[in-house]
A and B are shown apart, each in its own frame.
Chain A
């Protein structure tokens, strides 16, 4: 089971939307049995990025972890969402 952490600034608002979108996508793709979804606020997770197989954020993350984190904002605005899903697929090695 792969772990996917979704973070935002507060852990209650936009990360909830993104978690819902990713869950729906995982189910549509038939990946839902392979991934455990988690949700939190960035300040609690900034030192634990490596504990997860992939991290999606809707908020700014510090430069030192930037390369390890997928920008989830397209899932909020609806623009270029496929790029986010492609990155998740690659990071989690879903197939």
Chain B
């Protein structure tokens, strides 16, 4: 259910964090799963409360914003050709993010298991490495299935 709208982008060249966030947010809006206010929510929230994470094998980011901007739970994925700069949540450390998972969520209780599995995926070096090299939606969904996120 989290990937049914196929907001899954590979090998993207993004000049900076804002461009990457805008691209994913626009794609989610086009898919009809978030309100027009979602993008602004994402951009302002990222400035105030960064969402980068230094996973063991690479930097990632999980931009998200308030539930009020979300119509239907969904995750957008962006694989970057060159990493873009984020700051780590909690301590503001520099993060060179290679993968971005944009979370459109509105029900914390339902989504707990998915989020825990997403954090588990970040700690799986083998699957993370595959995520940086794949180039098809089918391969992406296969990896997500292995991580039990779907």
Contacts and interface: CB of A to CB of B under 8 A. Distances in A.
A54 interface: no
Given A20-B116, A42-B49, A10 B90 contact: no
A13 B105 contact: yes
Interface residues of B, number: 32
A71 B48 CA distance: 16
Contacts of B116: 17, 20-21
Nearest to A7: B49
A10 B45 contact: yes
Chain A: number of interface residues, binned into ranges: 20 to 34
Nearest to B107: A12
Interface stretch (B59-67, B130-138, B142-150): B59-67
Interface of A: 8-17, 20-21, 39, 42, 57-60, 71-73, 76-79
Interface of B: 45, 48-51, 53-56, 62, 64-67, 88-92, 103, 105-109, 111-112, 115-116, 119, 122-123
